[in-house]
Amino acid sequence: MIKLSTVIVPIMVVVSSCFADAYQDGQKALENKISSEAAALFEKACDSGNAKGCFELGLLYEKGDGVVQNKYKAVSLYTQACRGGEAYGCSNISLMYDTP
């Protein structure tokens, strides 16, 4: 009989490394000033449940860096990041509502 923990733990490691890869690749793209590529990678990370990826993508939408500026989309992404436990997402939501 196979223990459930022996099956779930390896799967969790593979899944979490997939999240980290897109996010980390997005960070590298930002460092290299390739914002449109970073946006695509952060979107992939965000869609996979990575709250930091949602936050970073929100920053790009807020500034219009590599994507068409869309502050409503930025708020939505910050909300998703906040719900995922990213404190900076929560903070940026309040800043967006405070700014005219």
Residue 88, domain CATH: 1.25.40.10
Predicted pLDDT of residue 16: 43
Residues in Cβ contact with 63 at an 8 Å cutoff, skipping those fewer than 6 apart: 69
Query: pTM for the complete prediction?
Result: 0.78
pLDDT in tens, 7-30: 444 443 344 445 569 999 999 999
- CA gap 80, 66 in Å, rounded: 20
Tokens of 46: 């965000």
Q: Which amino acid is at 28?
A: K
> Count of domains in the chain?
1
pLDDT of residue 85: 96
Instruction: Judge contact between 69 and 61, C-beta under 8 A.
Output: yes
